[in-house]
Amino acid sequence: MKALLLLLAQLCSASLIPEREKDPEYWRGQAQDTLRDALRLQRLNQNVAKNLILFLGDGMGVSTVTAARILKGQLQNRKGEESLLEMDKFPYVALAKTYNTNAQVPDSAGTATAYLCGVKANEGTVGVSAGVTRDRCNTTKGQEVTSILRWAKDGGKAVGIVTTTRVTHATPSAAYAHSANRDWYSDGEMPPDALEGGCKDIARQLVENIPDIEVILGGGRKYMFPKNASDVEYPHEDKHRGTRLDRRDLVRAWHDVKPPGKVAKYVWHRRDLLALNLSRVDFLLGESWHPWVPRPQTGALGDPWPIPRCWGGWLPPGDAGTPQKDAGPSQGGRIDHGHHEGKAKQALHEAVELDRAIGLATRLTSPQDTLSVVTADHSHGMGWGGTSGRPVVLRVPLPPGLAPMQSDVDRKPFTSILYGNGPGYKIVAGERENVSAVDFAHADYQAQSAVPLRQETHGGEDVAVFARGPMAHLLHGVHEQNYIPHAMAYAACIGSNRAHCSNAAAGRPAASILLPFLALLFLLC
């Protein structure tokens, strides 16, 4: 049967080529259109950015971007390769070098410190310089570094954080916290010497360091509540109980520090979020739990797939060109989690969902006053090859899809997407597993890997940076990752580099209500 499938794929590959692609004029015309677009970019957009939006695809390396592009096209009943992601439409593209100061292949904490705080750091540390040693609380004092979120707040902007991970995760926490260990979510995860040394857990810093963050949406609420306190949504499950040793209720603390006369709302459910009158809300904190939540979704190719529970992405709403002054990161964090589990399908569907948010941001904002940047903290060891036909064999959805060839060593088929290492390493009867005998299109399928590991690792290659809007041309070529927030701050006239800014551009106060700030929650489960 598998031999028949491969033969059919080879025989049909020629007939699958779209007719227009057989005409040389199609390619010439496409190239000329691209050339005209490139020539228009010679007129640089040097406006001051009133809004900043940073989309961070956690683990979204270049191979993930390419595969997600194909998947998006296939979900739209197209072949896929010719499709464009929303981020592909951004006119400026750069590469960022992701290494940490003490690691060639980075982790999410050191990279977050780079692209949010503008300073490279050691792996496992958040919001501190490379003078801090992981786990050493006593090396932290005086080594704290501030983020672009702080610079924006000091510049009078409304700010927000939205993530599909816990809000105390390494990626979002670099926006507000300073920690010698990314895993110190609450004091319940901290060692005695760190507590005795006066270091604060990350959840506490979320409430105390920048208490006037307008929007915080994510997961990980158990780190906000006293140890063993029952969870509001899962009251009978021990793993969801509170973890705080200090017995504090940080949600109440968050509410109590808000200025008199300001309305602060805490929500944990989609229902409560949609019921809010945002014109009467000044501060919003939303915390769910942090799981993959299966939801039957049938794509264009007929495959059900799970999506993560999340709040979605925030964007400034309103008509394009409406004056707004907002800033903040939005993280697609489950790309990383899917890759770590060797589940390429989950990772790529998450990347497509992040791209939907990017598209919405593009439609709701104007490049004349909004700088949007899309990048990744690091890549993964996912690669793909052996795919000579279009599309992947007989419309089997990518990922992973069978390559239209067999190994010339063990004479077995293989999927087009593979990992360098990870949990997909399987030996059956002393040989590589025959993937034609398993459901490789299932969302939980773990793609084969060359080296066995319980969790697949990050990759060390450069990641892409896509930019659109005022001063987007500053993101070009190959840069150190820590350059990103400096370029964004320059565009918005915030932070220390403001010599080029007029007083009018640099000093206007922000609006005091949430409605001009909070946008769409596009992935509500």
Tens-place pLDDT, residues 159-216: 999 999 999 999 999 999 999 999 999 999 999 999 999 999 999 999 999 999 999 9
What DSSP designation does 298 have?
A: B
pTM of the model: 0.87
Residue 438 has a CB neighbour count (10 Å cut-off) of 14
What does the pLDDT read at residue 265? Answer: 97
Q: Is 169 annotated as a binding residue?
A: yes
> Which position among 63, 108, 379, 416 bears the catalytic label?
108
Count CB neighbours of 10 within 10 A. Answer: 14
d(C-alpha 335, C-alpha 353), whole Å: 10
Query: What is the pLDDT averaged over residues 420-439?
Result: 93
Question: Residue 399 burial (CB < 10 Å; 0-12/13-18/19+)?
Answer: buried
User: How many whole angstroms from its chain centre is CA 134?
Assistant: 24
Tell me which residue of 59, 47, 5 sits closest to 500, measured CA to CA: 47
Please give the CATH superfamily to which domain 44-320+328-381+457-499 belongs: Alkaline Phosphatase, subunit A (3.40.720.10)
DSSP string spanning 2-46?
HHHHHHHHHHHTTTTS-GGGGSHHHHHHHHHHHHHHHHHTTS---
How far is it, in rounded angstroms, from Cα 15 to Cα 381?
A: 33
Overall size of the chain counted in residues: 525
pLDDT of residue 328: 66
Residue 377 annotated as binding?
yes
Q: Is the pLDDT of residue 243 over 80?
A: yes
User: Is the bond preceding residue 399 a cis peptide, omega within 30 degrees?
Assistant: yes
- The answer to the question of whether 336 is labelled as a binding residue is yes
> Per the structure block, which two tokens stand in for 413?
């088929």
Tokens at residue 382, please?
């996912």
Q: Are strands 463-468 and 370-375 parallel, antiparallel or unpaired?
A: antiparallel
Residue 193, marked binder: no
Strand partners, 159: 327
The answer to the question of whether 462 is labelled as a binding residue is: no
Residue 240 has pLDDT above 80, yes or no: yes
Taking residues 63-75, what's their average pLDDT? 93
Pairing of strands 458-459, 379-380: antiparallel
Residues 453, 341 contacting (CB under 8 angstroms): no
Residue 340 marked as a ligand binder: yes
Show me where the domains of the chain are located: 44-320+328-381+457-499
Q: What is the pLDDT of residue 360?
A: 92
Backbone angles phi, psi at 64, to 5 degrees: -70, -40
pLDDT at 307: 32
Per-residue pLDDT at 319 = 32
**pLDDT tens per residue, range 333-374:** 899 999 999 999 999 999 999 999 999 989 999 999 999 999
Tell me if residue 108 is catalytic.
yes
d(CA 360, CA 310): 17
Mean pLDDT value of segment 104-109: 98
What SS3 class is residue 128? strand
Which contacts of 267-276 are long-range, i.e. CB under 8 A and separated by 24 or more positions? 268/221, 268/232, 268/233, 269/233, 270/524, 270/525, 273/311, 273/521, 273/524, 274/524
Helices (H), 13-159: 24-40, 62-75, 108-117, 148-154
Which has more pLDDT, 390 or 512? 390
Using one digit for the tens of pLDDT, what is the confidence trace for 1-55? Answer: 555 444 444 445 545 678 888 888 988 898 898 889 888 888 899 999 999 999 9
Q: Does 349 count as an annotated binding residue?
A: no
**Is 135 assigned to a binding site?**
no
Check the CA dihedral 161-162-168-173 and report its sign.
Answer: negative
